[in-house]
Chain A
């Protein structure tokens, strides 16, 4: 029977990231304290780090070029020859 310790929950990538962010936040706040002591006009560093909120931008949709069966080959041939011409290999 497997021991319970084998089923202990391991730290996840998220929790590691969260700890790293907290450490970074403390370091940033310390830096701003030093700056503010030298110059009271410094305004940064009083707000905790925040995860950006989800923002809704409008979304443009749209379809790609309309073709029929024969045009697909025409496009490919044109593009390939155009490319060879640009490479000086036409």
Chain B
């Protein structure tokens, strides 16, 4: 039997979401060269607990993939669960932006292969292509995301992810009229 598949976040099982998030953080941080990692576990639990305080009133179950990753990104960055900065020799002045870097990386991975259930077009539309941006854009985006908070930046962050996903998957976008 193959391993069962589940959504990388918002799987419907908070414990599974927490395990996924811990695995992702652990592997990512090891790959960038950290030998030791300090994590605020209370903050990490708070990120997973955002289902009760999702920044969009209808809640995550009725959200698009873009709103889901925006909810995750804004909650993750604002609660600062990762305390250890990234190596300065690799990340320079962005070494202390480890929470935004992880949140963005996981969000991009989570959107690659995500499915939009569009009630207007009556079909499920996969985001087949991965988001790719330039290094310059990434640097500015990480700085911008580092100060985001859910109540103020959730919609803007959602729109950023949506625009980037549509740039990589132009056929998925609604017709551009305005």
Contacts and interface: CB of A to CB of B under 8 A. Distances in A.
B113 A70 contact: no
Contact of A87 (B26, B27, B113, B135): B135
Contact of A62 (B9, B64, B91): B64
A66 B6 contact: yes
Contact of A77 (B31, B113, B117): B31
B105 A80 contact: yes
A79 interface: yes
Contacts of B111: 64-65
Interface in A16-35: none
A66 B115 CA distance: 9
B2 A61 contact: no
Contacts of A58: 119-120
A86 B28 contact: no
B52 to A, nearest CB: 19
Nearest to B119: A58
A85 to B, nearest CB: 10
Interface residues of B, number: 50
Contacts of B43: none
A83 B91 CA distance: 10
Interface in A67-90: 67-70, 72-73, 75-77, 79-81, 83-84, 86-87, 89
A65 to B, nearest CB: 4
B8 interface: yes
17 contacts: A60-B118, A62-B117, A62-B124, A64-B9, A64-B68, A65-B114, A66-B5, A66-B6, A66-B7, A68-B5, A69-B3, A73-B24, A76-B28, A79-B105, A79-B109, A83-B105, A86-B138
Interface of B: 2-10, 19-20, 23-29, 31-32, 58, 61-65, 68-69, 89-91, 101, 105-106, 108-120, 124, 135, 138
